[in-house]
């Protein structure tokens, strides 16, 4: 998964940027690696829920969030064969300024056995009915 971070808050993207981004997305799609993507509305329109850890209901704060410098602006889900390949694909993104974070989507087998077992238990199939 590729997360785009940008420092921009208010201003929308220019036409050139959108076109360049479309071309990039098209490239990913043609290469057969693009599974999903989305752009997000600016963080000023976002809402943050803060959990205190006390078990109380979370505190709800509306944007803009002045204390943070970078925000997630969107994401791609790509199917890459290696981290290097994901990095290479990400490095071709026409990002004016900002950052992309490459993170691998976790699968069951990535976890220690006891966690994987717990995840499996919570997903145990319902009772099967064979014959009527």
Partner 1 sequence: MAARQAQGTSGQIDAIWRIESARVIATVARMVRDVGVAEDLAQDAIVVALQRWPSTGIPPNPGAWLTETAKHRAIDLMRRNATLQGKYEQIAHAIGVAGQAPDLEAELDDQIGDDLLSLVFTCCHPVLSMEARVALTLRMLGGLKTPEIARAFLLPDATVGQRISRAKRALATADVPFEVPSGPELQARLASVLEVVYLIFNEGYSATAGDDWMRPALTEEALRLGRILAGLAPDEPEVHGLVALMEIQASRQTARTGPEGEAILLASQDRRRWDRLLIRRGLAALERAESLGRPVGPYYLQAAIAACHAQAPTTEDTDWVRIAALYEALARVAGSPVVELNRAVAIGMAFGPELGLEAVDALDADGALDDYHLLPSVRGDLLARLGRLTEARQEFERAASMTHNNRERELLLGRAAQCAGAP
**Site residues (vs partner 1, CB under 8 A):** 29-33, 35-36, 77, 79, 81-82, 84-85, 87-89, 91, 107-108, 120, 123-125, 128-132
SS3 29: helix
Nearest approach in angstroms of CB 20 to partner 1 is 12
Whether the CB-CB separation of 23 and 92 falls below 8 Å is answered with no
Which residue's CB is nearer to partner 1, number 40 or number 119?
Answer: 119
User: What's the rounded Cα separation, in Å, for the pair 93 and 21?
Assistant: 7
**Largest pairwise CA distance in the chain:** 62
R_g of the chain computed on alpha carbons: 20
Which residue's CB is nearer to partner 1, number 11 or number 132?
Answer: 132
Which residue's CB is nearer to partner 1, number 17 or number 120?
Answer: 120
């Amino acid at each position: 998964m590729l997360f785009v971070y940008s420092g921009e808050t208010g201003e929308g993207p220019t036409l050139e940027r959108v076109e360049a981004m479309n071309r990039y997305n098209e490239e990913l799609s043609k290469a057969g690696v693009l599974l999903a993507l989305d752009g997000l509305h600016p963080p000023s329109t976002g809402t943050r829920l803060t959990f205190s850890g006390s078990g109380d209901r979370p505190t709800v704060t509306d944007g803009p969030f002045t204390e943070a410098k970078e925000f997630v602006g969107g994401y791609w889900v790509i199917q890459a064969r290696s981290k290097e390949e994901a990095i290479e694909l990400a490095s071709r993104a026409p990002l004016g300024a900002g950052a992309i974070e490459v993170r691998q989507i976790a699968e069951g087998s990535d976890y220690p056995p006891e966690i994987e077992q717990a995840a499996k238990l919570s997903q145990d199939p319902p009772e099967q009915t064979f014959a009527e």
